Structure 1
Amino acid sequence: MLPESTVEDWLREDLGHHDVTNEVPGETTGRLVAKEPGIVAGLDAACAVFEYLDVRAERAAAAGDRVESGGTVLRVAGPAREVLRGERVAVNLAGHASGVATKTRRAVAAAREVDDAVTIAATRKTTPGLRGVEKRAVVAGGGDTHRLDLSHMVMVKDNHVAEMGLEGAVDHFRERASFATKIEVEVERPEDAPLAADAGADIVLLDNMTPDETAEAVAKLREHDDDTLAEASGGITVEDVPDYAATGVDVISMGSLTHSADTLDYSFRTG
């Protein structure tokens, strides 16, 4: 459920102080139509915009559905002025979210060609103010949200290790975190993967390694500890996914799912 204040901010940004463009009398209907195939997402946000303006909104598709070019995903009806005021914000939100979902679905499909067990996950590289929309879009595409914010998991990075040492950093955060909070440790060399597991990591993040280095790190980790999860990350593209899926990692996390996804092209048609 989106806060009204969020929707207000979206509309205020687009409408400004004196919107003359949309001063259109009467009632109208409208449809959100895909101009290219893709995976549907962002309709909750689009509906929230119209409903805030007292425009009736009805979904014609569900999050995660595939839509073909020409397919309708949302129908609205209400005062023409309000329908037109909400149009661009709704189209932008749905287009961006559907682009994220579409890219995620491609990454998931690429992983499944190699290993059904590999999870494709997002990161915190999201657009400020749109994290909820983007993370839900990742789920619509078949991916995992990863941590939603800093409170969901402790990630021990190289700067923490530089300050406190590997074991010292893990111990420091373990003392302060809830028993339910997982600790992930980032490593950049294959030989450090079992050391991170020894230090108490629940998840070892294999960062910026090549597929060959990742496979080596996973092998070293599995020889030492079969319970600790292995995650690959660091500039991985959809095209790279099969090579990383073949390394034996449990998770492939990709910032590009949210920060570099193309917008799915939608058109809003009234009448």
Structure 2
Amino acid sequence: MPIERSQVERWLREDLGHHDVTNDVPGETTGRLVAKEGGVVAGLEAAEAVFDYLGVAVDERLDDGERVAAGDTVLRVSGGAREVLRGERVAVNIAGHASGIATKTRAAVDEARQVSDDVRIAATRKTTPGLRGVEKRAVVAGGGDTHRLDLSHMVMVKDNHIEELGLEAAVARFRERVSFATKIEVEVEEPGDALRAAEAGADVVLLDNMPPDETERAVETLPEGVLAEASGGITVDEVREYAAAGVDVVSMGSLTHSAPSLDLSFRTE
């Protein structure tokens, strides 16, 4: 899905305000976005959309998902100095934020690959309001899985649903209401409840806040065809242990809510 012009307009309006004197600079210029540290770049489509909105030409840019080293040029532009300078900060902020997510995701994927080529590293819905599209694309750029993009993509029966309805009744209720193409995932917090969730009709069982040894015990109880997902505060350093526990998916909210921005700088020439 392309970046919408209305979204770019909101970003720019927030930064420029009503009377931008700072960037009232005449003439033409060129500029480049430079990596100040190594990582995986992302958000460059969004950065390009910012400059395009301002009528600035993007003459060169890397593809999302490429690794960079300190000093590498990520994107190069040319156009009116006023417009280039106006787009600079928004482009840097978006690309830096997205690249930080992609970099952290790639680190987690690399850890999982030490154990298995099949375990997926997935994001969650713990995204910044208004930036979910940018952040989910960044996860993909880092080699991860988006998980569900919104509530319509999959039913997830969580602890509050179970508290209100009961596990079996919740699964039955939602199964009656969803399309045949929509999967149902059930969150459990005890290894003994994993099989119970599968027998109730879960397509995916989310093993929440379980240490790796309990996760492995829960996975062993699941029938073939039911996917196992580990989640709950899992760090990059713990990914290898959870992958070794036999899960199909490791989901990490920290990919989007706690990834530090990649240090990028914009320089005119």
Judge same fold: TM > 0.5, yes or no: yes
Alpha-carbon distance between aligned partners in 2 of 1:158 and 1:88, rounded to the nearest angstrom: 41
Q: Which residue of 2 aligns with 1:247?
A: 245
Taking the TM superposition and a 5 Å limit, the aligned residue runs for 1:156-195 are 156-195=157-196
Distance in 2 between residues matched to 1:119 and 1:181, nearest whole Å: 19
Provide the TM-score with structure 2 as the length reference. 0.98
Asked if the contact 2:101/2:261 (under 8 Å) is kept, the reply is yes
Q: 2:103 touches 2:142 (CA, 8 Å); kept in 1? A: yes
Please tell me whether residue 151 in structure 1 is matched to residue 167 in structure 2.
no
Number of the residue aligned with 2:80:
79
Aligned length: 268
Does the aligned pair in 2 maintain the 1:118–1:245 contact within 8 Å?
yes
| Distance (Å, rounded) in 2 between the aligned partners of 1:191 and 1:21 | 62
2:121 alignment partner, SS class: strand
**What's the secondary structure of 1:240's corresponding residue?**
helix
Distance (Å, rounded) in 1 between the aligned partners of 2:195 and 2:70? 49
Query: 2:42 corresponds to which letter in structure 1?
Result: A
What RMSD, in angstroms, separates the aligned Cα atoms of the two structures?
0.7
Match of 2:22 in 1: 21
Secondary structure at the residue paired with 2:236? coil
SS in 1 for 2:237: coil
Q: 1:54-133, aligned counterparts within 5 Å?
A: 54-133=55-134
Per mean C-alpha deviation after superposition, the further-off stretch among 55-64 and 80-89 is 55-64
Cα offset for 1:58?
3.1
Amino acid at match of 1:249: V
Q: Distance in 1 between matches of 2:255 and 2:60?
A: 24
> 2: CA distance between counterparts of 1:245 and 1:156?
23
Contact 2:44/2:61, CA 8 A, preserved across alignment: no
Gaps of 5+ in 2: none
Please give the secondary structure, in 2, of the residue aligned with 1:76: strand
What is the match of residue 238 of structure 1? 236
TM-score (normalizing by structure 1): 0.98
1:267 aligned residue = 265
Q: CA deviation at 1:159?
A: 1.2
Taking a change above 3 Å as real, the CA distance of residues 246 and 48 of structure 1, as seen in their structure-2 partners, is same
1:209 has 2:207 as partner: no
For 1:239 and 1:75, the matched residues in 2 are separated by: 35
How far is the alpha carbon of 1:73 from its aligned partner? 1.0
**Which amino acid in 2 is paired with 1:236?**
I
Runs of 4+ in 1 over 3 A off after TM superposition: none
Q: Distance in 2 between matches of 1:60 and 1:69?
A: 16
- Offset of 1:175 from its aligned partner? 0.8
Alignment deviations for residues 151-210 of structure 1 (CA, whole Å, 9 cap, x no partner): 100000111111211111011001111111100000000000000000000000000101
Seq. identity, %: 75
**CA deviation vs aligned residue, 1:35-60 (integer Å, no higher than 9, x gap):** 00100100000000000000001343
CA distance in 2, matches of 1:262, 1:16: 27
C-alpha contact (below 8 Å) 1:43/1:59 kept by paired residues: no
Closer/same/farther in 2, CA of residues 59 and 172 from structure 1, 3 Å limit:
farther
**Contact 1:187-1:204 at 8 Å conserved across structures:** yes
